């Protein structure tokens, strides 16, 4: 199929090249074409700037120009540090149980591992179970003395 089209494409290319090289445009045609383009240019209305347009909402895609900072000899004011939030706890609560002596046992999971914890137990990554009082379980980091709470749900009677 391609071999049948190739001679025709080459013939069309040669004809186009010959017409472009040999043929000169008529001078009258060039004059009328330029006259038409001038008439079109006169009939096209000028575009209005956005600030004078009917819609005064502003350009939603415009980039606000930043004014240059004033040169002063005063040092810049101290910027308050951004508060850092602790990473979410890696454990998830999978259950809880109230023992006969009114104390609570909570079942925690992290990945494939499961822990059964009671108040006072220490987890392997430096957290100690400070309190179990539904609806929360409070963990305290042993070295940093920071606390985290996990929601364990309300106690049903």
User: So what's the pLDDT on residue 129?
Assistant: 93
Whether the predicted pLDDT of 134 surpasses 80:
yes
Edge to edge, what strands does the sheet with 127-133 contain?
A: 127-133, 136-141, 147-151
Residue ranges per structural domain of the chain:
92-151
Which of left, alpha, beta for 35 (phi over 0: left; psi -120 to 50: alpha)? Answer: alpha
Confidence category of residue 3, pLDDT binned at 50, 70, 90: confident
Whether the predicted pLDDT of 27 surpasses 60:
no
Q: Is 62 exposed, middle or buried (0-12, 13-18, 19+ CB in 10 A)?
A: exposed
Question: Is the CB of residue 129 less than 8 Å from the CB of residue 144?
Answer: no
Average model confidence (pLDDT) across the chain? 78
Give the pLDDT mean for 109-134. Answer: 90
**Does the pTM exceed 0.75?**
no
Whether the predicted pLDDT of 51 surpasses 70:
no
Whether the predicted pLDDT of 107 surpasses 90:
yes
Whether the predicted pLDDT of 157 surpasses 90:
no
User: So what's the pLDDT on residue 56?
Assistant: 57
C-alpha 139/C-alpha 133 separation (Å) is: 12
**Backbone φ, ψ for residue 55 (5° rounding):** -85, 120
């Amino acid at each position: 199929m391609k071999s049948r089209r190739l001679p025709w494409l080459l013939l069309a290319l040669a004809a186009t090249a010959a017409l472009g090289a040999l043929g000169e445009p008529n001078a009258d045609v060039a004059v009328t074409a330029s006259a038409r383009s001038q008439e079109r240019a006169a009939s096209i209305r000028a575009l209005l700037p956005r600030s004078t347009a009917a819609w005064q909402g502003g350009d939603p895609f415009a980039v606000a120009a930043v004014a240059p900072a004033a040169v002063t000899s005063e040092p810049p004011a101290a910027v308050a540090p951004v508060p850092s939030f602790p990473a979410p706890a890696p454990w998830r609560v999978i259950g809880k149980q109230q023992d006969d002596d009114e104390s609570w046992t909570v079942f925690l999971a992290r990945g494939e591992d499961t822990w059964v914890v009671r108040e006072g137990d220490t987890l392997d990554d430096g957290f100690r179970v400070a309190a179990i009082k539904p609806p929360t379980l409070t963990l305290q980091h042993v070295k940093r003395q920071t606390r985290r709470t996990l929601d364990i749900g309300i106690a049903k009677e």
